[in-house]
Amino acid sequence: MSTTPQTATLSFSDGSPSVELPIYEGAIGPDVIDIRKLYGQTGKFTFDPGFMSTAACNSTITYIDGDKGELLYRGYPIEQLAEKCDFLEVAYLLLKGELPTAEQKDEFVNEKVIRHTMVHEQMKQFFNGFRRDAHPMAVLVAAVGAMSAFYHDSTDITDAKSREVSAIRLIAKLPTLVAMAYKYSVGQPFMYPKNDLSYTGNFLRMMFAVPAEEYVVNPVLERALDRIFILHADHEQNASTSTVRLAGSSGTNPFAAIAAGVACLWGPAHGGANEAALKMLEEIGHVDNVPAFIEKVKDKNSDVRLMGFGHRVYKNYDPRAKLMRETCYEVLNELGLQEDPLFKLAMELERIALNDDYFVSRKLYPNVDFYSGIVQRALGIPTDLFTGIFALARTVGWIAQWNEMIADPEQKIGRPRQLYVGSPKRDVPDVSSR
């Protein structure tokens, strides 16, 4: 962050003295106006519900250009990372700032991540306490939060070694926990991790193998899921990441902060959109029903949204959606599902929406969630686990952002202010006169 030659002058129509505010320049992207001293100088706050114009931190991790439809992790375009790297290389990049050399990758994977793939045996008991029909995200919020009870020895956030161990534990154990949530819901035995498989191959096996049979990982499906993980790994200061930073700003431990992120991700306007998008496609049911559905979406009184469409930052095609669409083709071809009716329906819905003035004028394009549900469904992942897969992949982004926040000398506890519009001060009346 460097100061630009300009400052911003804020003047008031009531004749109060104007104030000069510094402007900082990022490496790329919009400049920011530093308003930290505004309250001290003027007694006034800024008002920005939904953070439409507010940068809450410095970050070196991820950059999005919403107008161009560009997403960079540590400067590298998502398209190149999705083609040339695997998920753990991307995880290393997000955590450490650079792509690993072959040696660094070997050490990261074989001496760190795979040493932590198992979870404490007692965690099985924890899972057994849930109803079988509990939503996997409810189980996951609890399981990630419970890691602070099971791994209390790495919760000292002032100790760099402890922070690193927690980070590795989270990345390594999330696949195991997500697979356990699934196995529990279908009444099958939990599968232990198998560390000679890749991160993603191991996850597929923990999900779909049973102890009675051998399981062979399909490399096309393994690569497709790995790509889903890469595409979801980070997305700068989105709602769940901001939640992790805000929770973490109080000094809470990383397991608790990331459990808060998982809870936020669950909502249908965020990570829950992949589940909602697939349910929407199933409800539409047939290409013939698309025009009537689009009319409902456009009706101001209906509250129906086209799930998997629109984004706060992308005002152009979400680059992740393009890659997800390609992955969708690959998976459906591999599984002989080229004629998949939901995929056809999704493509028709996209075609109609992209030619409709309602969507064009509001710059609403498909986002990553529009096609990811179709891929996951084809892989055999049940709809209510889609957001769990997103959480698994986003964990590394949350940790990288949490680490960055802890190391930031300007970091303070997050504490927004408000515009109070409630009752002025008044006296409590006696109960007989209320």
Question: Contact positions toward ligand CMC, by CB under 6 A?
Answer: 238, 269-271, 273, 297, 305-312, 362, 364, 367-369
**Least separation in angstroms between CB 325 and ligand CMC:** 15
Alpha carbon distance 117, 88 (integer Å): 13
Q: Which residue is nearest to ligand CMC (CB)?
A: 310
Q: Which C-beta is closer to ligand CMC: that of 238 or that of 395?
A: 238
Q: Which C-beta is closer to ligand CMC: that of 96 or that of 312?
A: 312
CB-based contact 282:32 (threshold 8 Å): no
**Least separation in angstroms between CB 385 and ligand CMC:** 16
**Least separation in angstroms between CB 313 and ligand CMC:** 8
**Least separation in angstroms between CB 400 and ligand CMC:** 17
CB-based contact 175:394 (threshold 8 Å): no
**Least separation in angstroms between CB 178 and ligand CMC:** 17
Residues 6 or more apart in contact with residue 31 via CB below 8 angstroms: 4, 23, 24, 25
- Catalytically annotated residue among 232, 311, 318, 384: 311
Q: Which C-beta is closer to ligand CMC: that of 117 or that of 387?
A: 387
Q: Which C-beta is closer to ligand CMC: that of 221 or that of 349?
A: 349
Residues 6 or more apart in contact with residue 301 via CB below 8 angstroms: none
Q: Which C-beta is closer to ligand CMC: that of 306 or that of 392?
A: 306
Alpha carbon distance 210, 190 (integer Å): 8
For 252-315, the DSSP string reads --HHHHHHHHHHHHTSTTTTTHHHHHHHHHHHH-SGGGHHHHHHHHH-TTT----TTB--SS-S
Residues 6 or more apart in contact with residue 250 via CB below 8 angstroms: 413
Cα angle vertex 413, ends 407, 416, to 5°? 130
Q: Is 369 a catalytic residue?
A: yes
- Catalytically annotated residue among 226, 234, 318, 369: 369
Q: Is 152 a catalytic residue?
A: no
Q: Please identify every residue annotated as catalytic.
A: 311, 369
